[in-house]
Structure 1
Amino acid sequence: MAEKLYTASVTSTGGGRDGHVEGDGNIDFDVRPPKEMGGDGAGVNPEALIAAAWSACFNGALQLIMKNHDVDVSAHQPEVTADFSINKDPSGEGFRLSGVIKAKFKNQEQIDNAASLVQEAHEFCPVSKALRGEADIEAGLG
């Protein structure tokens, strides 16, 4: 297993997707199902949280990759959007997650290798790796 650099600890209470999350000093809010899933949409949902984490992590990875390739980050500031979905499983049992991440750059036409920078960031980004199933995870009683 890899050497830990940081661990976030967040606890869910209440109804899970219709409950509350708290922890890590800065997280303390209600979680609510989106209107599309029968909720009131008055809170954050798990898919939005994953999309936020993925876009932020990917943007950081992309900027590192840009620097490694001598691309001026300030002149080509990236903007990263993650779309993350919950879907019905085709088997009819349960749900599956899916996502798409897209990056665009300021003055993108001036970057010859923009697409390869994005692909390299996708290979490097820890959240991208985890979403591809490359995370060391476990479950148990607390």
Structure 2
Amino acid sequence: MSEDTAVDTSVDTRPTKIMYVAEATAHGGRDGYVTSQDGQIELKVAMPPQMGGDGNGTNPEQLFAAGYSACFHNALVLVGRRFGFDLVGSTVAAKVGIGPNAQRGYGLAVALSVSLPVLDQDVATKLVDAAHEVCPYSNATRGNIDVTVLLG
């Protein structure tokens, strides 16, 4: 298991070259819809019932969880390949929580659950830690929100 706090936050993780730019537009905030520039995303957005909404649509936290889990899993597979491991059957699930913060705004917290059923615990831990260093979402959130990585 690893926690975000164990990572060196003094390292500059900004890109040296932009390889791809994603574009999306929100219409109506949390009670509207979102679209991507290429038309691949056209989703209704709604507040979850826990926050007073009707839940009749996706929400930004679900989209962030989907993006983070896919990105982290890709980093994990990449790191595994570098070390000679085939991670077929592995998964990454993300839980993204939202709640009020001390500055009268809102903050996020993330829990990533990684399943590497074919590897022993020590090897799996090393790969997860390395993926946490490689993943752009991990690099973007490091020091900004609590990210817990659980290996199960």
Give the TM-score range, shorter chain.
0.7 to 0.9
Extract unaligned runs of 5+ from structure 1: 135-142
1:99 matched to 2:106: no
1:125 matched to 2:135: yes
Question: Which residue number corresponds to residue 137 of structure 1?
Answer: none
If you compute each CA radius of gyration, which structure gives the higher value, 1 or 2? 1
Q: CA deviation at 1:116?
A: 1.2
- Letter paired with 2:98: I
SS at structure 1 position matched to 2:95: strand
Spell out the pairing of 1:41-120 with structure 2 (5 A cutoff).
41-74=55-88, 77-89=89-101, 91=102, 93-109=104-120, 112-120=122-130
Question: Which residue number corresponds to residue 12 of structure 1?
Answer: 26
Q: CA deviation at 1:108?
A: 3.7
Question: Where has structure 1 moved over 4 Å in runs of 4 or more?
Answer: none
- Letter paired with 1:113: V
TM-score normalised by structure 2 residue count:
0.78
SS at structure 2 position matched to 1:117: helix
How far apart in 2 are the matches of 1:47 and 1:72? 30
Q: CA deviation at 1:29?
A: 1.1
SS at structure 1 position matched to 2:97: strand
Extract unaligned runs of 5+ from structure 2: 1-14, 145-152
Q: Pairwise CA RMSD of aligned residues?
A: 1.7
Q: CA deviation at 1:68?
A: 0.8
Higher relative contact order (CA 8 A, sep 6+): 2
- Cα 1:108–1:35 change in 2 (3 A) is farther
Identity %: 40
Aligned length: 129
TM-score normalised by structure 1 residue count:
0.83
How far apart in 2 are the matches of 1:72 and 1:97? 32
SS at structure 1 position matched to 2:42: strand
- Letter paired with 1:20: Y
